[in-house]
Amino acid sequence: MSLQVEKMEKNMAKLTIEVSAEDLDKAMQNAYQKAKGRISIPGFRKGKAPRKMIEQMYGKGVFLEDAANALIPEHYSKALAECDLEIVSQPKIDVTQVEPGKPFIFTAEVATKPEVTLGDYKGLEVPKSETEVTDEEVEAELKKEQEKNSRTITVEDRAAQNGDTATIDFEGFVDGEAFEGGKGTDYPLTLGSNTFIPGFEEQLVGANTGDHVEVKVTFPEEYQAKELAGKEAVFQCDVKKIEAKELPELDDDFAKDVSEFDTLAEYKEDVKKNLTEKKAEDARRAKEDAAVDKVIENAQMDIPELMTKTECRQMMDDFSRRMQQQGLSMEQYFQFTGQSMDKMMEDMKPQALKRIQTRLVLEKIAEAENIQPSEEEITEEIQKMADAYKMEADKIREAIGESGLEQMKKDMAVQKAVTVIADAAVEVEKAADAE
């Protein structure tokens, strides 16, 4: 194999890889061995036809495609090991010569790791986040806990209110004609949830159990069923049941039921303490994010499009795995959401670019500051992984190997770089909104 490397603009490179005619013929022979069992030639038993006879009947290039597909990944990997480039994308492969008896030549266009020129990364001004917890926020948290511990009761002595759940039978009509999908039986509708067509739920407020209500609405212009979009409709509704949430009293008994505390006052203090800790954590994260954004803004780098596309594909693969864990294929996801692969990839581009820029500037800062995790920190990180997977630390270290260990060190150095710039950042009060 021979290799030529051509460096191009915008951190791109073209690898021209030449494979000998002998290696191409070997690959064709391997392709023949794999395929001969599926090929029938008159006068020969299936799988017994000589390669030359098959090539005479189907052409000399009958095994070329399979041979090329076998040679490309093998020799591209060899080329990566041979060249001194740090490649950060999947290759764009182009076959330039593939003929029996001649060398097999293909090119691989790749993105190389961009060089980063750092600007200021210490002493950056970032907005100060509010960390004080108000009484209103504590009360809101208590309200959530009340909601969690509520019970549902049937209402018979009053009309329906917002927040109630009305069980209804309904049928919708457009221009006096019933339409598909416009009928429901024993449907539980929470009033005020805005889950139905705008204006529908409001017209059921004030109805009593047993009432018949005629609801008039107009479908939104952007309604998913195009034949109904913008149309006026009348729904004939029968209210069969009204249910309401009954909240427990906020007292000492409530505190005992939902917490480890004996009094409501103690429970409130604990809620406030937890909210304070969460706000402090959120503020720290916001400070880090703002500092990183400033560093990116101050830095110079030229990100190749192919690098962004590769990151998008990785993000798509991660998303697909999460969907599969939930029992949903990507085809099903696209069907349910009306999305497409191309649209989703396009939407991912800004996030992918941001991820790339963040990683590059943090790696550069780690290099500039000579940031390296200590052996104690590495051991601690491996132990965390061991605890998570319920394995011995030595087994984890063995499983991840040297390359995995090096990647872990890089990741830890990058996280330390975040801490360096966040600790050095100066928090300033956010500008008040203009009146």
pLDDT of amino acid 434: 41
Q: What is the pLDDT of residues 143-165, one digit of tens each?
A: 999 989 999 999 999 999 999 99
Q: Which residues pair with 216 in a beta bridge?
A: 234
Per-residue pLDDT for 412 more than 90? yes
Its CATH architecture, for the domain 151-246, is Roll (3.10)
Structure tokens at 273: 């303490």
Q: What is the pLDDT of residues 85-109, one digit of tens each?
A: 999 999 999 999 999 899 999 999 9
How far is the C-alpha of 304 from the C-alpha of 301, rounded, in Å? 10
- Return the SS3 of 378: helix
Q: How far apart are CA 115 and CA 296, in angstroms?
A: 13
List, by residue range, all CATH 3.30.70.1050 domains of the chain. 2-111
Quick one: which H or E segment has residue 169?
strand 165-174
Arithmetic mean of pLDDT, 265-286: 96
Compute CA distances 58 → 54, 69, 261, whole Å: 6, 19, 83
pLDDT, greater one: 431 or 283: 283
DSSP string covering 189-209, please? EETTS--SSTTTGGGGTT--T
Work out the mean pLDDT of the chain and round it to a whole number.
Answer: 91
Banded model confidence at residue 413, pLDDT cuts 50, 70, 90 = very high
- Is the per-residue pLDDT at 270 higher than 90? yes
Answer yes or no: is pLDDT of 263 > 70.
yes
DSSP state of 4: E
pLDDT band for position 44 (cuts 50, 70, 90): confident
Q: Name the pLDDT band for 435 (thresholds 50, 70, 90).
A: very low
Under 8 Å between Cβ of 239 and 166: yes
Task: Tell me if 307 sits within 8 A of 355, measured CB to CB.
Answer: no
Q: Where are the beta strands (DSSP E) in 207-347?
A: 212-218, 232-246
What are the pLDDT digits (tens) for 210-258?
999 999 999 988 887 788 888 999 999 999 999 998 999 999 999 999 9
Give the angle subtended at the CA of 74 by the CAs of 73 and 76, to the nearest 5°: 60
Specify the DSSP class assigned to residue 323. H
The fraction of the chain above a pLDDT of 90, given in percent, is 74
Beta-carbon contacts of residue 293 (< 8 Å; ≥ 6 apart): none
Confidence check: pLDDT of 39 > 80: no
CATH 3.10.50.40 range(s) for the chain read 151-246
Asked if pLDDT for residue 41 goes beyond 80, the answer is no
Q: What does the alpha-carbon distance between residue 226 and residue 148 come to, in Å, rounded to a whole number?
A: 39
Residue 393 has pLDDT above 60, yes or no: yes
- Which token pair is 34? 């794999």
Q: What CATH number should be reported for the domain whose range is 2-111?
A: 3.30.70.1050
Q: What phi and psi, each to the nearest 5 degrees, are found at residue 103?
A: -60, 145
Determine the pLDDT at residue 432: 55
